[in-house]
Amino acid sequence: MIEETLLDGEVKMDHAVTHLQSEFTTVRTGRANPAIMHRVMVDYYGSPTPLQQLASFSVPEARLLLVHPYDRSTIGTIERAILASELGLNPSNDGTVIRLAFPPLTEERRRELIRLVRHMAEEARVAVRNVRRHVKKELEALSGEVSDNDIERAEKELEDVTHRHVARIDELLAHKEAELLEV
């Protein structure tokens, strides 16, 4: 019973870290990264459709992203969606592909993005701590069924798992900050 509760808590903490990783990929650095297009929605025949369902991406250079629409008639719609997405990119097309040139980030924009990723990391830490709190309540609810020593050991193990996940979040944050500061 205790092992199931701890395992469930660890899985939920893993989800929080995985979510943070996916959030970090959507933050634009100075390099071209197709992952920032995951949030772009295109009005495709009246219904909002994710861009990755309408096009493929390639990165021929560090600061250039090519968007290859599957249907050439959607180029104008995709361009409008990219402009409306507030990514700070100006698309240009040659009739078959859309080119997105990534301008170098200004110092002010880098600071802004660092604040954003720190906020994302703090939200992930809070999520991990909330999972810890819920698991601890579940463990305390078992006090009549299992010995106090077993509960105490489980709580220590829960603390270790929590510290590992928070350390992983801090590691991801440090890596993303270094990536943003890279010129």
Residue 10, pLDDT > 90, answer yes
pTM here is 0.74
State the average pLDDT over residues 151-171: 95
* Domains of the chain, CATH where assigned: 2-25+106-181 (1.10.132.20), 34-101 (3.30.1360.40)
Q: Which of 15-19, 79-83, 127-131 has the lowest mean pLDDT?
A: 79-83
Q: Are 66 and 56 in contact (CB under 8 A)?
A: no
What pLDDT does 16 receive?
95
The distance of Cα 85 from the centroid of its chain, to the nearest Å, equals: 17
- Secondary structure (DSSP) of 100-134: EE-PPPPHHHHHHHHHHHHHHHHHHHHHHHHHHHH
Residue found under tokens 């009005």? 43
For CA atoms 104, 109, 114, 119, the dihedral sign is: negative
Query: What is the per-residue pLDDT across 21-54, written as a single tens digit (0 to 9) for each?
Result: 988 887 877 777 888 888 889 998 889 999 999 9
